[in-house]
Copies of this chain bind each other. A is one copy, B any other.
Amino acid sequence: MAATLSDQIQHAIDTKTKPLGALGKIERLARQIAEWQRTLAPVLDQATLTIFAADHGIADEGVSAFPQAVTRQMVGNFLGGGAAASVFARLNGVALRVVDAGVAGEPIAHADLIRRAVAPGTRNFLHQPAMTGAEADQAFDAGVALARATPGQAQAFGEMGIANTAAASLLAHKLTGLPLATLVGRGTGLDDAGLARKLDVLTRAAARTDGPLPPALAMAEYGGFEIVMIAGAMSGAAQVGQLVLVDGFIATAAATLALARHPEIRPALVFCHCSAEAGHRALLAHLDADPVLDLDMRLGEGTGALLAWPILRAAVAMLTDMASFDQAGVSNRA
């Protein structure tokens, strides 16, 4: 019986000039990427980071250390090249684009900004659903369409939205059943009192609806436009055979939503970074995800995915460029 492609990939990895398994996560990444691309010679040389920005009605409840205007200001900073994501994308040769998924205030005037705003921010989900079902569908579908039209072998997705750790925590709670207290953290830097207030607000918001919710309902009740659009974009990228680079806590909440709707995309997802945001480790464990990096970062914007990109490329190069014991004339273990 012929060996399966999966067996052939593992054999190729195992006969490279190194002790069995000695490249650890690099080997596991190479295997995942080769299996996803269905080839012994995977290619990973073009990636795009799309940053989705949106505002959140829940910011009215004082759940963030920063004012809402920062969402809009950071869109300018991404486009101007001064944000962390801008700097890391340039350094690592990843294309960067920015999408207005629903920033508060007047539409932002910038030639390079991609306009997909569903509304100027969500409603305050402490008192009412964050968006209508139609708005949620619009956001998800816009993400799918954008990602499907993007060239390359990999897509990363970042986010910007003051108060979006609040939305991400609650959405993840309603999708997974993990305790809210586990999923709620300091976001951009709340102090103890701010953290207690955030947990109180989210506990009351969660009580508006009963227990866990199906994904279509969860995303409308508690989502953010950028979070829902990222979930759509992850689904769309996987549908066209691309690798999905999952960033930090909020991107992982979006991935949880995407997986709830499209569980078949799981093999496309590479979890790039374990964030310092409190709930991330628990959410990653729930998804059985072993992140590539753990750099004690909690910024979002796709920064974790950008820093993991050279490591994913190294994994592919290991498989395609390293010599085997036979090729190099090196003795394998006795």
Chain A residues packing against B (C-beta within 8 Å): 16-26, 65-67, 69-70, 73-74, 76-77, 80-84, 87-88, 90-92, 188-189, 276, 292-299, 303, 306-307, 310-311, 313-314, 317-318, 321-323, 327-334
**CB closest chain-B residue, reference A275:** B24
Beyond A19-B298, A76-B328, A91-B317, 5 additional pairs, beta carbon < 8 A: A67-B331, A73-B329, A90-B317, A295-B311, A307-B314
A82 touches B19 (CB 8 A): no
Q: How far is the CB of A109 from chain B (nearest CB, A)?
A: 15
Q: How far is the CB of A107 from chain B (nearest CB, A)?
A: 18
**CB closest chain-B residue, reference A324:** B82
A296 touches B77 (CB 8 A): no
Provide the residues of chain B in CB contact with A77, threshold 8 Å: 17, 323, 328, 330
Q: How far is the CB of A282 from chain B (nearest CB, A)?
A: 19
Provide the residues of chain B in CB contact with A334, threshold 8 Å: 65-67
**CB closest chain-B residue, reference A68:** B331
**Residue from B84, B327, B328 within 8 A of A23 (CB atoms):** B84
A19 touches B294 (CB 8 A): no
Q: How far is the CB of A312 from chain B (nearest CB, A)?
A: 11
- With A22-B188, A23-B299, A303-B23 known as contacts, the answer to whether A331 contacts B70 (CB < 8 A) is yes
Q: How far is the CB of A202 from chain B (nearest CB, A)?
A: 20
Q: How far is the CB of A251 from chain B (nearest CB, A)?
A: 15
- With A22-B298, A298-B24 known as contacts, the answer to whether A321 contacts B87 (CB < 8 A) is yes
Q: Complex: how many Å from CA A18 to CA B19? A: 42
Query: Which 9 residue pairs across A and B have the least CB separation, nearest first?
Result: A82-B323, A24-B296, A19-B188, A310-B310, A73-B330, A22-B299, A77-B328, A25-B295, A24-B297
**CB closest chain-B residue, reference A277:** B22
- With A17-B74, A17-B84, A82-B328 known as contacts, the answer to whether A311 contacts B322 (CB < 8 A) is no
Q: Complex: how many Å from CA A323 to CA B24? A: 37
- With A328-B80, A329-B76 known as contacts, the answer to whether A87 contacts B297 (CB < 8 A) is no
Q: Complex: how many Å from CA A318 to CA B317? A: 27
Q: Complex: how many Å from CA A208 to CA B307? A: 47
Provide the residues of chain B in CB contact with A294, threshold 8 Å: 294
Provide the residues of chain B in CB contact with A92, threshold 8 Å: 310, 314
**Residue from B16, B84, B293, B322 within 8 A of A293 (CB atoms):** B293
Provide the residues of chain B in CB contact with A84, threshold 8 Å: 16-18, 23, 318, 322
Q: What are 14 A-B contacts defined by CB distance under 8 Å? A: A18-B84, A19-B65, A19-B188, A22-B189, A22-B299, A25-B297, A26-B307, A65-B333, A66-B332, A77-B328, A80-B328, A82-B321, A87-B318, A307-B314
**Residue from B66, B76, B81 within 8 A of A19 (CB atoms):** B66
Provide the residues of chain B in CB contact with A329, threshold 8 Å: 73, 76
**CB closest chain-B residue, reference A16:** B84
